[in-house]
Amino acid sequence: MQNSLIKLLQLSFRLQILFLLFTASVVYAGETPSVPGTKIYFINIKDGQTLKSPFLVQFGLTDEMGIAPALADWPDTGHHHLIIDAPPPNENKAISKKQVHLHKGQTEITIKLPPGEHTLQAVLGDYSHIPHDPPVMSEVITVNVE
């Protein structure tokens, strides 16, 4: 009798842990929804392109969503980020301050990079710099800087 009570308590404890893990993951997931079909891309730079530093990077965003400055929690908006020489950002975390945030709502920026191969990726982030759900990210492209 006591044994089964202990087993029941253990089960209930495990369920609580599972519940906590689940709710925690929901709380920390990117909470801002994106509009289905939204695409982000580089307007003026293509994969494999050779560039002279400094160079201009122009961001394109399809009509489903719009641009807002960081901290402006407006529906269906975000601001551009340029990820340089780094893997795609964690979908549930604020994009690192080491990456380029176009936090005023700009759609282009001039970048200086040392000569050599570099990877670039455009990522839309919400008012708190977290990718949307599902994330709006471009392909990672490689450029050759002269």
The binding site for Cu ion (CB under 5 A) comprises 101, 125, 129
Report the nearest approach of Cu ion to the CB of residue 21 (Å). Answer: 28
**Closest residue by Cα to residue 60 from 16, 124, 1, 143:** 124
CB of 98 to Cu ion, least distance (A): 12
| Between 101 and 132, CB nearer to Cu ion | 101
CB of 70 to Cu ion, least distance (A): 5
Which residue number, 15 or 72, has a Cβ lying nearer to Cu ion? 72
Say how far apart CA 120 and CA 118 lie, in whole Å. Answer: 7
Nearer to Cu ion, 94 or 113 (CB): 94
- Do 29 and 92 touch, CB atoms closer than 8 A? yes
Q: What CA–CA distance (Å, rounded) separates 33 from 36?
A: 9
Q: Least distance to Cu ion from the beta carbon of 32, Å? A: 12
Q: 21 or 29: whose CB is closer to Cu ion?
A: 29
| Separation of alpha carbons 57 and 123, rounded Å | 13
Specify the DSSP class assigned to residue 70. T
Which helix (H) or strand (E) segment holds residue 125: the answer is strand 116-125
